[in-house]
Amino acid sequence: EADIYQTPRYLVIGTGKKITLECSQTMGHDKMYWYQQDPGMELHLIHYSYGVNSTEKGDLSSESTVSRIRTEHFPLTLESARPSHTSQYLCASRGGARGYGYTFGSGTRLTVV
């Protein structure tokens, strides 16, 4: 059973719209991450957070922004969606020792038309 939840699961939206992808976890994890997964399935880190009021840009430049006002919530926002934003977005979290790796959400598949 997933302890990290992403909504919506699928989203089709028009160009220029503002969207927010939700990610919530119930495990009290400090560290949270957003990955963009391209059609070839490769994972690209776009944002991460070490805790409340902490956000950092990842390895892949992204036009999206994130916030971390509460430990359990790490939403990702696109102010103006474009077709190039079409992708799968995965949220993950980690608590405690690094040896336990990440827990992933089920992902949001975004299509911008």
Partner 1 sequence: AQTVTQSQPEMSVQEAETVTLSCTYDTSENNYYLFWYKQPPSRQMILVIRQEAYKQQNATENRFSVNFQKAAKSFSLKISDSQLGDTAMYFCALYAGTASKLTFGTGTRLQVTL
Residues that bind partner 1 (CB under 8 A): 2, 31, 33, 40-43, 45, 48, 50, 58, 90, 92, 94, 98-107
Nearer to partner 1 by C-beta: 15 or 54?
54
Based on C-alpha coordinates, what's the Rg of the chain? 13
Considering the complex, what minimum distance in angstroms separates the CB of residue 37 from partner 1? 9
Q: How far apart are CA 54 and CA 66, in angstroms?
A: 10
* Nearest approach, Cβ of residue 58 and partner 1 (Å): 8
For the chain, give the number of residues. 113
Instruction: Give CA–CA dist 77/93, Å, rounded.
Output: 18
Distance CA 69, CA 1 (A): 25
Q: What is the closest distance, in whole angstroms, from the C-beta atom of residue 68 to partner 1 in the complex?
A: 15
CB of 23 to partner 1, least distance (A): 13
Residue (56 or 79) nearer to partner 1, CB: 56
Q: Are 92 and 105 spatial neighbours (Cβ–Cβ below 8 Å)?
A: yes
Residue 2 or 80: the one with the smaller Cβ distance to partner 1 is: 2
